[in-house]
Amino acid sequence: MYRLVLSSVLMSVLLSPLASGDEVSLRDPTKPLSYATKVPGSEALILQAVYLSSHRREAIVNGKVLKVGDWVGGAQVEKIESKKIVVRRNGQQRTLSLRPSIINTPRSR
């Protein structure tokens, strides 16, 4: 009898958040404890390439081809230059530059 009362009290305590209609957030047990969910607009922006011609200005950021005015990772492209681009995220202006190892400079013969 004692076990029956104890188990029913224990079950009511454990199930009370579910019965109250409050939303219960459970952690996925298959994810590592250090796992953090990405917040939209917080990803790192990496300038991978710049393409300039007389009629086009494009940049590749995080694998996406962008023009002035396009959005990536919560930032808007404001300016595209030969070795860098300027973006604005959350009201702050930021310059993304190509890594020196991928800047293509003309070779002299």
Q: What is the pLDDT of residues 29-55, one digit of tens each?
A: 787 777 666 665 567 899 999 999 999
Q: Is the dihedral angle over the CA atoms 52, 60, 48, 43 positive or is it negative?
A: positive
Alpha-carbon span 5 to 106, nearest angstrom: 84
CA distance 59 to 85: 8
Domain ranges across the chain: 47-101
pLDDT digit string (tens) for 11-33?
776 666 555 555 667 777 787 77
pTM above the 0.85 mark? no
Say which CATH architecture domain 47-101 belongs to.
Roll (2.30)
